[in-house]
Amino acid sequence: MNLKNRLSTVKHRIREACGRCGRSEEEIQIIAVTKYTTMKTVERVLLSGIGHVGESRTQEARSKYETFHPRGTWHFIGHLQTNKVKDIIGKFEYIHSLDRLSLMKEIEKKAADLNTVVNCFIQVNVSGEKSKQGLSPEALFSFAQEVSRMKQIRVVGLMTMAPYELDAEATRPVFRELRRLRDELNAKDIFSYPVQHLSMGMSNDFEVAIEEGATWLRLGSVLVGEESIQGKEV
């Protein structure tokens, strides 16, 4: 299967999932996660009409961005080290991994230097897995209070990664909880604007994420294929 076929299969699965829960496909955006893939794969992704590209390692993210911008809208989805913030902001339009005060302060500072506002998702470790980044659900609200004072950060949504499960259905409580946290955040009026988005759902579990309210799907292997991740072409 090539990218075009994979994309049409994914779109079909998105449509079916939307049909099951009465949502409109237009509410759902695909980010093609191209980490570990070649420039050629990124080129194909952009040609396929998927406008959103996700990268998770700063060096690789930067070289792909430099190669392709102004094509594409770039999403930084991985753990962001404080000393790498300067390489990402002003370039990547979205950061999905705002998860600590030191990172918040650095984004605020560097964004002020550039006179820009950075769109961020607050990453929450809903499952509590040790291997995952993100704030605990309990820490979310006091963290959000701090973020709401930042002039250069706009919180567009919450992000989470579910544990890998052989049966995707087992991820449902994680996605449901992220949605509940977003609704609670809005009910508390911590931000002067509604926090709209849920960045959740990956290759293994995106249909369940859609049923639980995902608005941004981060899709790697299901789109670009395992082959390209191992260095072969799609």
What b/e sequence results for 65-102 when a residue is b if at least 16 CB atoms lie within 10 Å of its CB, and e otherwise? beebeeebbbbbbbbbeeebbebbbeebebbbbbbbee
Q: Cβ of residue 57: shortest distance to ligand PLP, in angstroms?
A: 9
- Residue 204 binding ligand PLP, by CB under 6 A: yes
Task: Spell out, one character per residue from 14 to 53, where the chain touches ligand PLP: x when CB under 6 A holds, - when not.
Answer: -------------------x-x------------------
Three-state DSSP class for residue 168:
helix
Count the alpha carbons within 13 Å of 94 in the hemisphere toward its beta carbon.
24
153 contacts ligand PLP (rule: CB under 6 A) = no
Whether the Cβ atoms of residue 28 and residue 49 lie closer than 8 Å to each other? no
Q: Is 215 in the site for ligand PLP (CB under 6 A)?
A: no
Assess 220 for contact with ligand PLP (CB under 6 A): yes
Shortest reach from residue 40's CB to ligand PLP, in Å: 18
Identify which of residues 28 and 190 has a Cβ nearer to ligand PLP in the complex.
Answer: 28
Q: Confirm or reject binding of residue 219 to ligand PLP (CB under 6 A).
A: yes
CA dihedral sign, ordered 36, 158, 205, 9: negative
Radius of gyration of the chain (CA): 17
| One of 218, 225, 228, 234 touching ligand PLP (CB under 6 A) | 218
* CB of residue 202 to ligand PLP, shortest distance in Å: 4
Binding-site size, ligand PLP (CB under 6 A): 14
| Interactions with ligand PLP, residue window 61-80 (CB under 6 A) | 77-78
CA distances from 93 to 7, 202, 228 (A): 23, 20, 25
Tokens 């006091």 belong to 142
Phi-psi sector, 222: left (phi>0), alpha (psi -120 to 50), beta = alpha
88 is a site residue for ligand PLP (CB under 6 A):
no
Decide: is 202 part of the binding site for ligand PLP (CB under 6 A). yes
Contacting residue, 89, 104, 155, 161, with ligand PLP by CB under 6 A: 161
Q: Torsions phi, psi of 95, nearest 5?
A: -115, 120
The binding site for ligand PLP (CB under 6 A) comprises 33, 35, 56, 77-78, 161, 202-204, 218-222
